[in-house]
Amino acid sequence: MTTMAQPGQMPAEAGGPTVTRIGVIGTGVMGADHARLLTEAVSGARVGGVFDVDGSRARGVAAASGGARVFADPYALIVDDGIDAVLIASSDATHEDYVLACVAAGKPVLCEKPLAPTVEACARIVEAETEHGSRLITVGFMRRFDPGYTGMRALLTGGEIGAPLLMHNVHRNPAAVPGLPSSALIANSAVHELDIVRWLFEEEIVEVAVHTPRPSGQAGGTQDPQLLVLTTESGVLADVEIFVNARYGYEVRCELVGETGTVTVDAPPPTSLRRGGLHARALPGDWRPRFAEAYRLELQDWIDGAAGGASAWDGFAATFVAHACVAALASGERHAVNLPPAPALYRR
């Protein structure tokens, strides 16, 4: 096997074309979908091994991935010489240990969000990668690759709408697990918007507030919906509506308001129906159809070693801001976000 040519670049199989052998940890909905994309839609990669606590589920994904090896131990998968890089899509609480094992093994790793559930765990990961001395970790904030969001960023940086002033975000799911903690709307859903605001404006969020209207009767005791208001370093205000029991379907859209114009991100399906005085279009039932292309582009970027995805520091920052939002939710007050300086490894 060859060594990595640069931070984030994958090794190639000796004596042949570049094929990165990916070990997938966690083969639930996300992991299985990643394995499918790696097998069917991403060039230069194949699934080399899988692990899941549910062995039958792992075997099913392995078979669908062209006969990948099934590992009984996730740490054995990480250190195996037949695995070049690791994709983590297991439960949130396992992320820290698996990511740290990947860093110790010197293997590139794509970890689904969150990098880890707590600020302290994220800090330990950042410290380990910093001590390693080069970037190995990518965090799965796939919206950075969505054509709508990348188009919005290009228009903003190109000066097409002048200086940004406001950003309006809508993030709705049809239904959530009954009894979902109210904080989970921030930690598991709004965290995508927290990352995209930092990425879009290339500056930090310095203050947060969370407003809570009357909860939906469909929410089963969860404070749903919620409205987050984020203030960036330059004074941009970004509001984020999170509504995870909207019932009608999955929808993510946003509008950026600048001094001289606006940019809207939406993803209507290509087919719509006009009949009987109505104009209708279908909405997806979850995030996968809406962000299918973003996931594919994210994986291809990772395999290509382009390092265009979110770093471990971005994962730390998203969790840090999310925890400030959870505190604001609990107190009903604005909270300052005092993010520490990024280590040199992550500075632009």
CATH (one of 3.40.1360.10, 3.10.129.10, 3.30.360.10, 3.20.20.80) for 144-346 = 3.30.360.10
pLDDT score recorded for residue 18? 82
Cα torsion angle, 71, 13, 136, 3, sign: positive
Residues 20-112: name the CATH superfamily: NAD(P)-binding Rossmann-like Domain (3.40.50.720)
H or E element in which residue 241 lies:
strand 237-243
pLDDT score recorded for residue 307? 82
pLDDT score recorded for residue 15? 52
28-77 pLDDT, tens digit per residue, is: 999 999 999 999 999 999 999 999 999 999 999 999 999 999 999 999 99
pLDDT score recorded for residue 9? 44
| Phi/psi of residue 339, nearest 5 degrees | -65, 130
pLDDT-derived band at 281, boundaries 50, 70, 90: confident
| Burial (Cβ within 10 Å: 0-12, 13-18, ≥19) of residue 207 | middle
Other residues' Cβ atoms within 10 Å of the Cβ of residue 165: 15
Other residues' Cβ atoms within 10 Å of the Cβ of residue 76: 13
Would you give the DSSP letter of residue 310? B
Strand pairing category for 85-88 and 20-25: parallel
Computed over every residue of the chain, the mean pLDDT equals: 94
213-248 pLDDT, tens digit per residue, is: 999 999 999 999 999 999 999 999 999 999 999 999
Query: Which carries the bigger pLDDT value, residue 198 or residue 221?
Result: 198
Dist. CA 232–CA 238, nearest whole Å: 8
Residue extent(s) of CATH 3.30.360.10 domains in the chain: 144-346
Q: For residue 138, is pLDDT > 60?
A: yes
pLDDT score recorded for residue 124? 99
Query: Which carries the bigger pLDDT value, residue 53 or residue 279?
Result: 53
Q: What is the mean pLDDT of residues 117-129?
A: 99
Q: For residue 137, is pLDDT > 60?
A: yes
Q: For residue 7, is pLDDT > 50?
A: no
pLDDT-derived band at 123, boundaries 50, 70, 90: very high
In one letter, which amino acid is 41? A
Residue extent(s) of CATH 3.40.50.720 domains in the chain: 20-112
pLDDT score recorded for residue 16? 57
Query: Which carries the bigger pLDDT value, residue 10 or residue 50?
Result: 50
pLDDT score recorded for residue 1? 27
